[in-house]
Amino acid sequence: MSFFIKDSRLIKIIYYLGSSLLILTLLRISLWLLYQDDFSSLNSIETLQSFWMGLRVDLISVTTSTSILVLFLILPFRFSNNEYYQNIFAYLWYVVLIVIVFVILADMVYFDFVHRHVGSEIKVMGDEADMFVGMLLEYKIMLVLYAFFCVVIFFLFRRAIKIKLEVKKQSMAWRIGIFFIVFILLFLSIRGKIQGKPFSISDAFSVNKTASGNLALNGFYTLYRTISKNKKKQYRFYDDATTIEVSQSLLKSSRFEFLDQKYPLLRSLVKSETKSKKHNVVIIMLESWSSKYVDSFGSNNLGVTKNFDKIASKGLSFSNFYANGQRSIEGITALLTGIPVLKNFSFLGSGLELSNLSYLGTIAKENGYSTIAMQSSKRGSFNVDSITKLAGFDSYYGAEDMPLVGDEDKDKKPRFGTWDGNMYTLLHQKLSNQKEPFVSFAFTSTTHTPFISPGKQWERYKHNNTNLFGYLNTLKYADDKLGEFMEKVKNEPWFDNTIFIFMADHTIGFGNDSEMFKGTNIKIKNRELEEMKIPLVIYAPKIFKPAIIDSVGSQADIIPTLIDILNWKGNFATLSNSLISPSSNSFALFKSGETIGLVDKSGYIKHTLDKRLEMTGDESLEKRILSIYQLSFKLLQTNRWYKKD
C-alpha cells in the first residue's frame, strides 16, 4: 500500500471516492428508515446482505460517473501535479456527486408512490418535464435536504482540496504503471464483476426478494442503466412450439377460437347465431385510484369514496383486479390494445404502434359504433390525442376544450390540466349528442400528485399537497364529481342501454401510510401485491345484476370482455381473457420497474427475466410467464401480433 501512497494524488482520489460512498450509504440508510414497510420482508442477515450489495452498486455508480475525472487526476505527466489543475477536477467531481445525490433524492420521492426505483419511464416524464419539475418543487423538505447534502459534500471536498500535494521525483515508467493500475481498477469497478457478464440490475438482488433489490439499488444506477439500453435483449427460454402451446393454454376459452398458427395470439369470438348487442359503453379511467384507498375494495374506512362505493354495490365489482403497469401510459396502452407493457416492450406513442395491433376503438367501429375520447389533462399529455386517434376514436378533447363551470376554488388550478368536474360536464354534453351505439373513453387527473385542493369543502383531512391526506381530499372531490355525473346521466334516454366501466390507471402509495393514522379508528392494511391492486366496476343496472367477482383480471382484459358481452365480430389479439366467461383462465400480467409478474388463482410470481424472485403460486407459473413473454416479444418484433384482413 505504501507503494501507492507515495503519490499524494491517490490519497485525494481515495478521499473523494470514500466521501462519495459515505454520502450514498447515508442516503440508502435514509431510504431504509423512510420506507420500512417495504423492507419488512427482509430479516437482519438479508438486510445486511442488501446493504453490502448496495455498496457495490454505489461503487459502480460513482466510478462510472467519475472515471474520466480520475484518469485526468492521475495522468502520468508532471503538469497533473499542478494544484490548480487538481482543483478543477476535484470541483468537477463535486458537481457530478451533487447531481447523483439530486437524482437519488428525487427517486426517493418517486419511491413513495410506486415502491420501486425510477427506470426507463423517465423517457415518458421527459415529455412532461414542466410538470415533473413542478412536482419536485412541492417537496420542499427534500429540496432543503438536498441543499444540506450539497453543503456537507462541499466542505468534505474542500478539506481534501486543501491537502498539499507532495511532489516527489518519480520515473515516467512508475507514473505510467500507476496510471494503468488505476485504469484497470476503474474498469473492474465499473464492470462490477471480474468474470462473466457485467453487473446488472438483476445481480443486485442478493436474495430472491424484491425488497432486497430495492434496498441495494439506487435511483441513479437504475436510471442510467435503463435509459442507456437501446438494444432490446431477445430472451429464449424454450423452443417456439413450447411457448405457443403454453401461451395458448393460458388464453384458452370456450368463447374464443385461435385462427392462425403463424399468428398464434390471433382469436375471434366462436361463431354463433347470437346477434351483436348494441349497448353503449362508457369507460372512465380514474387517475391513481388504488384499491386500498377505496372503501368498497380496501375496507379501510377512509370515507372518501361514498359515491363509487354505492356504484360498486350495484354493479359487477372485481375484487382481484390489477394494473398492468405503474404509469398512466401503460394503463392506457393495456386498455386500448389488450397488451401489458412488459419489460423491454414499447408503449403506445413510443413504438408499439409500429406493429399491427387490434385496437379497442377500431373493433368498436367495425361493429357499428361511434367513438369519442377525452382527458382532463392537456390535449397532448402522454400523446393521448394521437394515441386515441390511432386506436380508432374519431373525436378527442383535452383540458383546453373544457370550460371552468364548477364550484372549485377559483384561486387554485390543478397542475395537469383542469378539474375532473369540468371534464364530466363536457363528457355528459358530448354523450348526449353522440350517435348510438357509442364507445367513449375518458381519463381523469385531479388525483395526480401534487394534490392541489379544489376547495375546503372537500378537505376531510388536514390538507398537504404531497402526502396521503392531500390525496384523500382530492379523491373525495373526484368521487363527488363522479357521483354528480352519474346522477345527471341517469335521466338520459341512453342510460339504461349503457355499460359503464370504472377502473384506475395505476396505484399510488405513501410509504408508511399506517403511521399517519395512529390514534384514529382507521387501520391501513396492506395485502400481497397491494402496489398493483386497482378497482374495477362494470355498472349497468338494467343489464347486469350486482355481484362481487373474485377472478383475477387486469386492464388488458377489457377488449376480450367487451367482445364477449357485446358479441362483437372480427379478429383480435391480446394477452388477456374475458372477465365474465367462466371458461376463461383468469390471470394478470404486470410490470413493476425492471421486474415482470404473473398472477393467477394459485398465487403470483415476480421475475427479472434473469432471476426468479418471489413466488407464492404453482410451480408452473415460471414456465407460463417466461413462455408468454418470449412469444409476445418475438411476435411484436416480427410483426406477427395481429393479422389485418
Inside any domain, residue 233: no
**Dihedral (CA of 103, 104, 110, 115) sign:** positive
Q: Are 363 and 501 within one domain?
A: yes
Q: How far apart are CA 312 and CA 298, in angstroms?
A: 12
d(CA 201, CA 60): 11
pTM summary value: 0.85
C-alpha cell at 492: 338520459
Asked whether residue 332 falls in the same domain as residue 210, the answer is no
- Say how many Å lie between the first and final Cα of the chain, rounded: 73
Do the beta carbons of residue 38 and residue 214 sit within 8 Å?
A: yes
| CB-count burial class (<10 Å; 0-12, 13-18, 19+) for 30 | middle
Q: What is the DSSP string of 613-628?
A: EEE-S-THHHHHHHHH
Q: Could you tell me if 20 and 88 lie in one domain?
A: yes
Distance of alpha carbon 381 from alpha carbon 21, whole angstroms: 38
Q: Please tell me the predicted confidence (pLDDT) of residue 159.
A: 80
261 and 148 both lie in a single domain: no
Q: Are residues 302 and 211 in the same domain?
A: no
Across-strand partners of 316? 538, 547
Whether 345 and 379 map to the same domain: the answer is yes
Rounded CA-CA distance 501/315 in Å is: 10
Verify that 472 and 373 share a domain, yes or no.
yes
Domain CATH for 436: 3.40.720.10
What cell was used for 237? 427460454
User: What DSSP assignment string belongs to 384-404?
Assistant: HHHHHHHTT-SEEE-GGG---
> Do 333 and 249 fall into the same domain?
yes
- Consecutive H or E run containing 366: helix 360-366
Please indicate, yes or no, if residue 310 is contained in any of the structural domains. Answer: yes
C-alpha cell at 147: 441543499
126 lies in some domain: yes
SS3 track for 481-525: HHHHHHHHHCCCCCHHHEEEEEEECCCCCCCCHHHHHCCCCCCCC
The C-alpha R_g of the chain, in whole angstroms, comes to 27
Do residues 213 and 258 both lie within one domain?
A: no
Is 62 a domain residue?
A: yes
**Residues 250 and 139 placed together within one structural domain of the fold:** no
SS3 content of the chain, % helix, strand, coil (to 5): 50, 15, 40
Specify if 504 maps to a domain.
Answer: yes
Write phi, then psi, for 52 (nearest 5 degrees): -65, -40
Residue 34: its H or E element = helix 8-34
With respect to residue 645, please indicate whether it lies within any of the assigned structural domains. no
| pLDDT value of position 124 | 54
Structural domain including 302 reads 240-269+278-637
244 & 210 share domain: no
Nearest to 471 by CA among 454, 455, 448: 448
What pLDDT is attached to residue 4? 47
Residue 635 in grid coordinates: 411476435
Residue 156 lies in a domain: yes
Q: Kindly report the number of other CB atoms within 10 A of residue 232's CB atom.
A: 13
Q: Which residues of 298-332 are buried (b: 16+ CB within 10 A; e: fewer)?
A: bebebebbebbbebbeebbbbbbbbbbbbbbbbbb
Nearest by Cα to 423 from 406, 437, 438: 406
> For residues 91, 97, 101 and 102, what is the CA-based torsion angle, rounded to 10 degrees?
60
Extract the residue ranges of the chain whose pLDDT is less than 50: 1-4, 127
Residues 189 and 315 in one domain: no
Number of domains in the chain: 2
Q: What is the H or E stretch that residue 284 is in?
A: strand 280-286
Residue 570 falls inside a structural domain: yes
